[in-house]
Amino acid sequence: MAFNINVNGNPHSVDVDADTPLLWVLRDVLGMTGTKFGCGMALCGACTVHIDGIATRSCITTVDSLGESKVTTIEAIGTTAAGAAIQKAWLDHEVVQCGYCQSGQIMSASALLASNPHPTDADIDDAMSGNICRCGTYVRIREAIKLAAQ
């Protein structure tokens, strides 16, 4: 059946099975490829989006669970204050290497910053330890979040 979902402020109707993960709706059905596939089991965080502002793993979030919720992806996170601050800090501090996980990192970090403007190291660990970076940009992620929080 068709599901009506709201992504980055735009309504979409998608005709997929109810248990289809949001990740594939975004990437394959809607062609929004900024959100990445990493593990399919909420173990790596590459697929992180915001659902009503909460950082959420889209690989295990089924399309039928969304209802009226507002989905925000990496493509639109720069329109939020926290998202723009994180993106800027990421570039100013040269966090990014291969960049594949960084959509998810930025979504997790901007959710953290939006809810906690001055995160401690422990807060950062809590919010970011679900996001794996195989290039090992962790040292700079930590510094960039602090930079964005200033």
Partner 1 sequence: MRNDRIAYRGTGSYVSEKSLSRRSFLQAGAAIGGGFMLSLSLPFANGEAGATEPQGFAPNAFVRIDANGQIFLTMPYVEMGQGTYTAVPMLIAEELEVSLDQVRLEHAPPNEKLYANPLLGVQATGNSNAMRGAWKQMREAGATARMMLVAAAAKEWGVDPNACRAQDGEVIHTDSGRRLKYGALAASAANMPVPQDITLKSPADFTLIGTPVKRLDTPAKVNGTAVYGIDARPPGVKFATVAQSPVFGGRLKSVDDTAAMAVKGVRQVVRLNDAVAVVADHMGAAKKGMEALQIEWDDGPHASLSTEDIAGELEKATLGPGAVAQNIGDADKAIAGAATKVEATYQLPFLAHATMEPMNCTVDFRKDECEIWIGNQAIARVQAMAAEAAGLPVEKVIVHNHLIGGGFGRRLEADGAVRAVEIAKQVEGPVKVVWTREEDIQHDMYRPYWFDRLSAGLDETGKPVAWKNRFAGSSIVARWAPPVFKDGLDSDSTEGAIKLVYDLPNFHVEYVRVEPPGIPTAFWRSVGPSHNVFVTESFIDELAAAAKQDAVAYRRALLDKSPRARAVLDLAAEKAGWGQPLPAGSGRGVSLQFVFGSYMAQVAEVEVAKDGSVRLRRVVCAMDCGTAINPDTVQAQIQSGIIFGATAALHGEITLKNGRVEQTNFDTYQMLRINEAPAIEVHIVKSSEPPGGMGETGTSAIVPAIANAIFAATGKRLHKMPADPNILKQPT
Binding residues (CB under 8 A) for partner 1: these are 16-17, 19-21, 23-25, 27-29, 31-41, 43-44, 46, 73-75, 77-78, 87, 90-91, 94, 96-103, 106, 124-125, 128-142
Question: Smallest gap, in angstroms, from Cβ of residue 116 to partner 1?
Answer: 16
Burial class (CB in 10 A: 0-12, 13-18, 19+), 103: buried
Side chain identity at residue 32, one-letter code: M
As measured in angstroms, the least distance from the Cβ of 52 to partner 1 is: 20
Write down how long the chain is: 150
| In the complex, minimum distance from the CB of residue 118 to partner 1, in angstroms, rounded to a whole number | 18
25 CB-near residues (< 8 Å, 6+ apart): 5, 14, 16, 63
Least Cβ distance, residue 137 to partner 1 (angstroms): 7
The nearer residue to partner 1, 37 or 69, going by C-beta atoms, is 37
From residue 80, alpha-carbon distances to 38, 98, 137 in Å are 25, 24, 24
Output 52 or 121, the one with its CB closest to partner 1. 121
By CB neighbour count within 10 A (0-12 exposed, 13-18 middle, 19+ buried), where does 75 fall?
A: middle
d(CA 83, CA 144): 12
CB closer to partner 1 out of 29 and 69: 29
Q: Which is nearer to partner 1, 19 or 68 (CB)?
A: 19
Provide, rounded to whole angstroms, the least separation between the CB of residue 89 and partner 1.
Answer: 10
Of 37 and 115, nearer to partner 1 (C-beta) is 37
